[in-house]
Chain A
Amino acid sequence: MNEQNEGAPHIIGPRVYVVILFALLAGTALTVAASFVDLGAWHLTPTLTISWNPVVALAIATSKAVLVVLYFMHVRYSSKLTWLAIVAGIFMFLTLILMTLSDYVSRAWGNW
Chain B
Amino acid sequence: MPDSPAMTHGTQELANSADPGNAANSAHPEHPPYLLHHFESAGQQADAAGFAMWLFLLTEVMFFSGLFTAYLIYRNWYYRAFVAGSHQLSVVWGTTNTAVLILSSFTMAMAVWCSKTGRRRELTLCLTLTFLLGLGFLGIKGIEYHEKFEKHHVPGRHYSLQSFLYPDSDAAARAAGDRPLPLDDARHTEVYFSLYFLMTGMHAAHMVIGLCILGFMILRARAGAYTAGHATFVENFGLYWHFIDIVWIYLFALLYLISRH
Q: Do A and B come from one complex?
A: yes
The reply to whether A96 and B65 form a contact with Cβ atoms under 8 Å apart is yes
Check B208 for interface membership: any CB of A closer than 8 A: no
Q: Select B253's contact among A1, A61, A71, A88, beta carbons within 8 Å.
A: A61
Q: How far is it, in angstroms, between the C-alpha of A39 and the C-alpha of B260 when the chains are bound?
A: 11
A: number of interface residues (CB 8 Å): 52
Check B135 for interface membership: any CB of A closer than 8 A: no
Chain B, Cβ-Cβ closest to A97: B69
A41 CB to nearest B CB, Å: 10
The reply to whether A32 and B257 form a contact with Cβ atoms under 8 Å apart is yes
Chain B interface, DSSP helix/strand/loop, else mixed? helix
A60 contact set on B, CB distance < 8 A: 253
Binary contact track A68-84/B, C-beta < 8 Å → 1, others 0: 11011100001101100
The reply to whether A96 and B258 form a contact with Cβ atoms under 8 Å apart is no
A61-B65 in contact given A28-B95, A72-B238 (Cβ < 8 Å): no
A85 contact set on B, CB distance < 8 A: 51, 54-55, 57-58
B: number of interface residues (CB 8 Å): 52
The reply to whether A72 and B44 form a contact with Cβ atoms under 8 Å apart is no
Residues 46 to 62 of chain A near chain B (Cβ within 8 Å): 53-54, 57-58, 60-61
A72 CB to nearest B CB, Å: 5
Binary contact track B246-258/A, C-beta < 8 Å → 1, others 0: 1001101110111
B250 contact set on A, CB distance < 8 A: 58, 61, 65
B46 contact set on A, CB distance < 8 A: 5
The reply to whether B44 and A92 form a contact with Cβ atoms under 8 Å apart is no
B44 contact set on A, CB distance < 8 A: 1-2, 5
A103 CB to nearest B CB, Å: 10
> For B43, B238, B261, which residue has the most chain A Cβ atoms within 10 angstroms?
B261
Check B18 for interface membership: any CB of A closer than 8 A: no
Q: Select A104's contact among B66, B73, B103, B258, beta carbons within 8 Å.
A: B73
A36-B65 in contact given A61-B253, A64-B249 (Cβ < 8 Å): no
A12-B113 in contact given A57-B258, A89-B58, A89-B61 (Cβ < 8 Å): yes
Q: How far is it, in angstroms, between the C-alpha of A96 and the C-alpha of B46 when the chains are bound?
A: 31
B42 contact set on A, CB distance < 8 A: 5
Binary contact track B34-62/A, C-beta < 8 Å → 1, others 0: 00000011111011001100110110011
B57 contact set on A, CB distance < 8 A: 85, 89
Chain B residues engaging chain A, CB cutoff 8 angstroms = 40-44, 46-47, 50-51, 54-55, 57-58, 61-62, 65-66, 68-69, 72-73, 76, 91, 95, 98-99, 102-103, 105-106, 108-110, 113, 116-117, 238-239, 242-243, 245-246, 249-250, 252-254, 256-258, 260-261
